[in-house]
Amino acid sequence: MNALSFAFKALWHRKATSVFIALIWALGLLGLAVTSRLETNVEAQLTRTLEGTDLLVVAKGSPTQAILANVFHVDQATGNISRAEADKWLSHPDLRNVRRLAYGDNFQGVRILGCDSATWNHVPLRALEGRWPEAALEVVISEAVAQKSGLQIGDAFHGSHGTVDDLGDHDHHDYRVVGIASSPAPQWAEMIWTPLESVWAVHEDAPEEYTAVLAAIPNPMTRLMLPGQIQRTSSLMAISPAMEANRMVGWMNQGGAVLRLLSILLTVIAALSMFLLLQSHIRERLSDYALVRAMGGTWGQIAGLVLGQNLLLALLALGLTYMGLALALNLSSIWVPTGVLLYEDLWWNLGQDLPWIGLTLFLGLFAGLGPWIWLQKIPLHRALVDS
Amino acid sequence: MSHVLHSTELTVDLDNGKRLIFPELHLNKGELVLLQGASGSGKSTWMHAIAGLIPLASGSVHIEGQGSLQSGKKAPKQWRRNGLSFMPQRAFFWNSLSLKGNLDLAAWCKGLHVADADLDTLGLADKTSQAAHSLSLGEQQRVSALRSFLGNAPVLLADEPTASLDDSNAEALMTLFKEHAGDRAILVSSHDQRLAPFVDRILHLA
């Protein structure tokens, strides 16, 4: 037998209180862990999604909305831009991997994205059944859309006006499915790709327009200068997505700070509860510890018994925290906003946890120090006689 | 007989400012000694002083081979571990531990790897996994005595061990002490007149 086994039995003897305190503590730790993981994951997702996109040209409006709509495909576009005006800039010699988008209509609420081959070549693929479109009104649907709608390769459908499903049908233009694509990237989970020409053909009365143009700019000086130049000399809005992403991460971190503060509060409350629990346990069972001294136990052994209880509580809280993290990851589809992807490698990167694991163990031991020191000031003979 | 324990000029200052002065004490190996005195005469305080549980105002206690406990100085490191065993008036078992667990705790306190207490001799072998406080009072005190034999310290101080026991349990406990007095000195404090027939010597504290 050793100090930890005696400490464990002392905790087990009052298991309801012990588990309750460990739970409060775990909730605080879980808040801290989930906040930092969400920040890391969203930041990584922004970085990974924005890779290869140094310039976004759109109609004037909110830059954040423009990024959400044209990169993450989760918001309404800021408007359309003139094809002729945009094309003038697309011949810039420093632009690479130019992708042109024209929002079309929708099918059962799923966006029909008019785009060029550069766009679908940019889509990370798990699998592609069939082929990418080669002519107007051919479409590739994502795997989720295929499952939801039951559409197969060779099937035809017609889209509805706009990006919602209740504005009337283009029943005289049928799209034909030529491929089903499966992509691990969440922004491409529910999507219908079609050539730009499809969108222009369906809206034959409207001028040919883009919704957005995306491009990579390998030259750092051009990357810095070109957005401003486009802004100044045209009616277009040019955005550097990386800079906007930094701003978005900054906002997110502010939101995270509130959650983090609440989590720290919970953790402090748990540490305080643990201190009070131990203190009241020792007061109540003072004779137990006096007996240990009377039987020849050293103050070091008593420290083992007292601090051991808190150490075990801290370990229990950590265990519960990781169980909570596993549960949160498994249930992420329920609580994580659409379009946000949790990366398992980042979720289980335990290196990021070392500071708060250290803090937890420190708090546990620190909360035990007070009762242990108090115990040393109690006259042993009184504890044995008065009890 | 050789003196196992020798205390001289022992005095203790109480919280109420009163000073207790204790007579010289010799304990010999193999001896079971009864310390008698009225309630409040200071029997327990004397026991606690010898055990190093209460600071000495003056005087010293020497245990053969274990060094000396002196006023103004800390008790020798192994004083209660190897030098003497102290059996408090109540058993003070840990509620969270079984009977065996409590014996293991005592062994751990004394730096022993295992508690080699023979519960068979008390007829408690089948109760080792029971909560110690579920035993009868007589059984608890006998287990407490067995616990204080762990480590074979040369001196055992038992503070009012029969205070709450009926005749048969008091007799069983004193018999147990008698059986284990062979290689140690045992000092039992009590105002219990029933104990006199079991002991080798009686000391009176006025």
Give per-residue pLDDT as tens, A82-136.
999 999 999 899 999 999 999 978 899 898 999 999 999 999 999 999 999 999 9
| Closest to B65 (Cα-Cα) out of B183, B173, B204, B177 | B183
pLDDT at A6: 94
Contact residues, chain A to chain B, C-beta under 8 Å: 1-3, 6, 9-10, 12-13, 285, 287-288, 290-297, 301, 379-381, 384-385, 387
Q: Token pair 């479109």 is at which residue?
A: A133
| Angstrom distance (rounded) from CA B183 to CA B195 | 21
Q: Which two tokens stand for residue A243?
A: 């800079």
Average pLDDT of every residue of chain A: 88
Residues of A whose CB is below 8 A from B85: 295-296
Q: Looking at the structure, do residues A227 and A92 belong to the same domain, yes or no?
A: yes
| Residue B54 to residue A287, Cβ atoms within 8 A | no
Split at pLDDT 50, 70, 90, the class of A265 is: confident
Split at pLDDT 50, 70, 90, the class of A56 is: very high
| Residue A297 to residue B92, Cβ atoms within 8 A | no
Q: Looking at the structure, do residues A134 and A234 belong to the same domain, yes or no?
A: yes
pLDDT, mean of residues A52-74: 90
Q: Is residue B171 part of a domain?
A: yes
pLDDT at A324: 95
Residue B34 Cα, gap to closest chain A Cα (Å): 20
A28, A34, A39, A43 alpha-carbon torsion, rounded to 10°: 170
Residues of B whose CB is below 8 A from A381: 44-45, 48, 53-54
Residues of B whose CB is below 8 A from A12: 96
CA distances from A283 to A98, A371, A383, B89, B96 (A): 73, 9, 10, 20, 16
Coil/strand/helix, residue B131:
strand
pLDDT at A359: 87
Q: How large is the C-alpha radius of gyration of chain A?
A: 30
| Closest to B113 (Cα-Cα) out of A291, A98, A251, A1 | A1
Q: How do residues B18-37 score in pLDDT, each as one tens digit? A: 999 999 999 999 999 999 98
| Residue A1 to residue B81, Cβ atoms within 8 A | no
- Of the two residues B66 and A173, the one the predictor is more confident about is B66
Residues of B whose CB is below 8 A from A291: 88, 92
Mutant choice from A278, A299, A384, A387 vs B, greatest count of B C-beta within 10 A: A384
| Angstrom distance (rounded) from CA B202 to CA B182 | 18
Q: Looking at the structure, do residues A233 and A263 belong to the same domain, yes or no?
A: no
pLDDT at B124: 82
Coil/strand/helix, residue B119:
helix
pLDDT at A207: 87
pLDDT at A32: 85
Residue B169 Cα, gap to closest chain A Cα (Å): 22
Which residue from B minimizes the CA distance to A10? Answer: B96
Q: What is the ipTM of this complex?
A: 0.90
CATH code where residue B139 lies: 3.40.50.300
Coil/strand/helix, residue B139:
helix
pLDDT at B202: 95
| Angstrom distance (rounded) from CA A221 to CA A223 | 5
Q: Which two tokens stand for residue A32?
A: 């801290």
Residue A124, CB-side half-sphere exposure with 13 Å CA sphere? 10
Q: Looking at the structure, do residues A342 and A265 belong to the same domain, yes or no?
A: yes
Split at pLDDT 50, 70, 90, the class of A262 is: confident
φ and ψ at residue B6, rounded to 5 degrees? -145, 120
A239, A261, A286 — which closes off a domain? Answer: A239
Q: Is residue B18 part of a domain?
A: no
Residue B47, pLDDT > 80, answer yes
Residue A154, pLDDT > 60, answer yes
Out of A11-20, A168-177, A243-252, B14-23, pick the least confident.
A168-177
Coil/strand/helix, residue A125:
coil
Name the β-bridge partners of A156.
A176
DSSP conformational letter for B121: G
- Of the two residues B60 and A379, the one the predictor is more confident about is B60
Q: How many CB pairs under 8 A join A and B?
A: 81
| Angstrom distance (rounded) from CA A10 to CA B192 | 36
| Angstrom distance (rounded) from CA B88 to CA B158 | 6
pLDDT at A270: 81
| Closest to B63 (Cα-Cα) out of B75, B48, B45, B54 | B75
pLDDT, mean of residues A336-346: 77
Q: Looking at the structure, do residues A212 and A298 belong to the same domain, yes or no?
A: no
A209, A239, A269 — which closes off a domain? Answer: A239
pLDDT at B72: 86
- Of the two residues B167 and A173, the one the predictor is more confident about is B167
Report the alpha-carbon angle B203-B122-A383, nearest 5. 55
Which residue from A minimizes the CA distance to B94? Answer: A288
Q: Which two tokens stand for residue B77?
A: 């490191």
Residue A317, pLDDT > 70, answer yes
pLDDT at A202: 87
**Percent of chain B whose predicted confidence (pLDDT) is above 90:** 63
Q: Looking at the structure, do residues A101 and A223 belong to the same domain, yes or no?
A: yes
Residues of A whose CB is below 8 A from B108: 1-3, 6, 297, 301
DSSP conformational letter for B73: S
pLDDT at B197: 93
What is the dihedral sign for C-alpha B47, B48, B50, B56?
negative
B48 touches chain A (CB under 8 A): yes
What is the dihedral sign for C-alpha B47, B53, B58, B62?
positive
Residue A144, pLDDT > 90, answer yes
Q: Looking at the structure, do residues A212 and A284 belong to the same domain, yes or no?
A: no
Give the range of the structural domain holding residue A378, as residue numbers without chain letter.
3-47+247-386
Q: Looking at the structure, do residues A98 and A20 belong to the same domain, yes or no?
A: no
| Closest to B175 (Cα-Cα) out of B195, B152, B203, B149 | B195
Q: Which two tokens stand for residue B115?
A: 């508690």
Q: Is residue B131 part of a domain?
A: yes
pLDDT at A162: 60
Split at pLDDT 50, 70, 90, the class of A171 is: low
Q: Which two tokens stand for residue A286?
A: 């003072």
Q: How do residues A182-239 score in pLDDT, each as one tens digit? A: 998 888 989 999 999 999 988 887 889 999 999 999 999 999 999 999 999 999 999 9
Q: Looking at the structure, do residues A204 and A167 belong to the same domain, yes or no?
A: yes
pLDDT at A339: 64
| Angstrom distance (rounded) from CA A95 to CA A128 | 28
Q: Which two tokens stand for residue A356?
A: 């708060």
Q: Looking at the structure, do residues A284 and A362 belong to the same domain, yes or no?
A: yes
Residue A382 Cα, gap to closest chain B Cα (Å): 9
pLDDT at B27: 95
Q: Which two tokens stand for residue A33?
A: 């862990």
Which residues make Cβ contacts (< 8 Å) with residue A222, sequence separation at least 6?
A92, A94
Q: How do residues A3-40 score in pLDDT, each as one tens digit? A: 999 999 999 998 998 998 889 889 888 988 888 888 88
Give the range of the structural domain holding residue B195, as residue numbers without chain letter.
32-47+74-205
- Of the two residues B125 and A339, the one the predictor is more confident about is B125
Mutant choice from A285, A289, A291 vs B, greatest count of B C-beta within 10 A: A291
pLDDT, mean of residues A326-344: 82
| Residue B105 to residue A296, Cβ atoms within 8 A | no
Q: Looking at the structure, do residues A261 and A345 belong to the same domain, yes or no?
A: yes
| Closest to A289 (Cα-Cα) out of A387, A386, A375, A377 | A375
pLDDT at A172: 64
* Domains contained in chain A, number: 2
Q: How do residues B102-139 score in pLDDT, each as one tens digit? A: 999 999 999 888 777 777 778 788 888 899 888 999 99
* Domains contained in chain B, number: 1
Q: Looking at the structure, do residues A219 and A251 belong to the same domain, yes or no?
A: no
Residue B206 Cα, gap to closest chain A Cα (Å): 20
| Residue A293 to residue B53, Cβ atoms within 8 A | yes
Split at pLDDT 50, 70, 90, the class of B94 is: very high
A187, A204, A239 — which closes off a domain? Answer: A239
pLDDT at B1: 53
DSSP conformational letter for A236: -
